[in-house]
Structure 1
């Protein structure tokens, strides 16, 4: 395998074979000749501090049971508080933070202790497919709340949320901010309006904020729980370094559980039911949060430029609003008249995207494209898509 050098994308631009040599699902599962742009994973070498931390762990030669098994949680609890305080002026109590392998496990654990089969759970759509699939598998009723889509992009209507909650009796809201797939970063006014609904309807808010570190200026991420003490007390804030720092395989996440009822429910679970995160995941996350922001700044510069490149290079007829966060573009292909645009581009362009129908109501005719790659790969993706669209004309 080619050596992974320190630059966020130098390794892949200098040696394209590096991408296909990686064992991760994105490139390892791609058929020959296909360019994968589906899963939310960056095509950049991981931060140098993360590599050093993992190398040091292996160099010590100790992968035994970590010391924190007998203590009050991992060092991630304090690291999460420090990061939130430094970046957002919010200091979540480490005693209220819990560790998980990823956000999907955290969501399912919270739903397990906080809701019952048959309960209604509200969520904005189009929405993250894995969360949408979780609800019926757990016997919960999805209450879809449609986003507004206009000339200027996507917006959240608090009155529509209130109506949906009132009609369904939902007592839980899954909030995804920054939003996947649209890339919206909710404004303080939008968050305050949602908080008002949560207060009036006594909602538990499960807030997925995993893409917070991938927000582009002038957009500013505001943690939902930071709005007020009352809001924090009804919120579970879930996050991970996995997206921004490209370490999803480390399987490490945290959730600040502001709700005492949910904390009590989680703490009553059998202690080994959810398993435990490993030393490598903790080391990687600590190195990401504490030492890798210069790397992140460079990556954000690259991603921000890719947003513009994408808009300039997409085929005519595809609608696109530059995302305010994430490495994901939500592309409106409805004018092309295709039954399934993702299937069309895979078959005719060799570009693997996610079908909008996976994102629930309102996703039909859309595709999600990951632009977290090198400019050269992105240019090839767009060129292939343009050529495929030309065949329709």
Structure 2
């Protein structure tokens, strides 16, 4: 059955996409890219209008946010409205992106040689960051079950105790598997954090891309102890495709860590721009209708990918419960030890995957399905052709 099309998201022409200056489409002209986590869709009109209005009124001088940063208030309102999580704006700070925030937090909240627990497969910049900062990365593999991916609570508890971990880098919803951890699972992780006095850095950037009936639960909302040890990171960048504007927020539960952060020189970690803030605030305050249409299209697309994967795999991977990224085993496509390079060479499709996600990602691929139905079908057709006799 042909997919139901939405003109807002499906009227994309490959020749136009190839003219974009960003990294995703800067590939050879016969290659279809479905790798880096950028959506192909146009900017939401409310965001484009907010940026244009700011430029046209000449408001690009030094911003004055001392009386209350608009991004902090927009974030606090968003958390209350979406998740019934009360956030004090006094505990919110800005960073250029989530990766920078993770690096700042590891720098200020841990010491060289400290062990940091990380679920694998892992978003590659996080996988690299922990080791590059002189911390000991302790990998805790997600477990593939008959129906989904499990957070391996027992493995996490054992790893934290064995390696005397000082921090946990939690990614929920999880990139790349797309798992949305349940309140019960988060409660078990919170108990481990409490037992071992862990700093928890919770990356929740994909939260607003959660598909029903799954529900995102902010980790810091579990209980008072969890809140007091958790720094929550998020951004409008994934749900509204604004990564290039480089704007994220961090909510500090640990007051001592916030004080350490605020004692640093004011410009040491850079600052977010006026346009970035205008875009994020417009997204969170006025982008609801656009986002609902987006989620319908992404839900359709993940099902198209699921059908394709089921056509070539006897034991297909579960559909992601959030994100626009599909994680699946490469073996059923008849690929060797470097599946990303082989798919590129044989199918002329660029995906992510492999050992940059951790050792247990070596024989997996990650497909970004945030594109039009036509482009996605072309990608899937090329992948399916790899299985042809």
Query: TM-score when scaled to structure 1?
Result: 0.94
What pairs up with 1:168-317 in 2 under 5 angstroms?
Answer: 168-314=163-309, 316-317=312-313
CA distance in 2, matches of 1:98, 1:350: 42
The residue that corresponds to 2:383 in the other structure is 385
Q: Report how far residue 32 of structure 1 moved.
A: 1.1
**SS at the partner of 2:266?**
coil
**Is 2:119–2:142's contact at 8 Å kept on the other side of the alignment?**
yes
Q: Report how far residue 270 of structure 1 moved.
A: 1.3
**SS at the partner of 1:244?**
helix
The residue that corresponds to 1:8 in the other structure is 8
**SS at the partner of 2:328?**
strand
Match of 1:323 among 313, 320, 324: 320
Q: Does 1:369 align with 2:364?
A: no
CA distance in 1, matches of 2:94, 2:358: 29
Match of 2:162 among 163, 167, 171: 167
Deviations 1:76-104 (A, max 9, x none): 11111100000000011110000000001
Number of aligned residue pairs: give it.
381
Q: Report how far residue 10 of structure 1 moved.
A: 4.4
The residue that corresponds to 1:130 in the other structure is 125
**Is 2:10–2:373's contact at 8 Å kept on the other side of the alignment?**
no
Q: Does 1:65 align with 2:42?
A: no
Query: TM-score when scaled to structure 2?
Result: 0.95
**SS at the partner of 1:237?**
strand
Runs of 4+ off more than 3 Å: none
The residue that corresponds to 1:26 in the other structure is 24
Deviations 1:28-48 (A, max 9, x none): x21111111001111111111
**Is 1:178–1:184's contact at 8 Å kept on the other side of the alignment?**
yes
Q: Report how far residue 387 of structure 1 moved.
A: 1.3
**Is 1:8–1:47's contact at 8 Å kept on the other side of the alignment?**
no
CA distance in 1, matches of 2:319, 2:372: 18
**Is 1:351–1:384's contact at 8 Å kept on the other side of the alignment?**
yes
**Is 1:77–1:94's contact at 8 Å kept on the other side of the alignment?**
yes
**Is 1:101–1:251's contact at 8 Å kept on the other side of the alignment?**
yes
Gaps of 5+ in 1: 1-5
The residue that corresponds to 1:41 in the other structure is 38
CA distance in 2, matches of 1:73, 1:248: 24
**Is 1:8–1:295's contact at 8 Å kept on the other side of the alignment?**
no
Q: Report how far residue 59 of structure 1 moved.
A: 0.6
Q: Report how far residue 73 of structure 1 moved.
A: 5.5
What pairs up with 1:82-101 in 2 under 5 angstroms?
Answer: 82-101=77-96
CA distance in 2, matches of 1:304, 1:239: 22
CA distance in 2, matches of 1:42, 1:223: 24
Q: Report how far residue 18 of structure 1 moved.
A: 2.1
The residue that corresponds to 1:109 in the other structure is 104
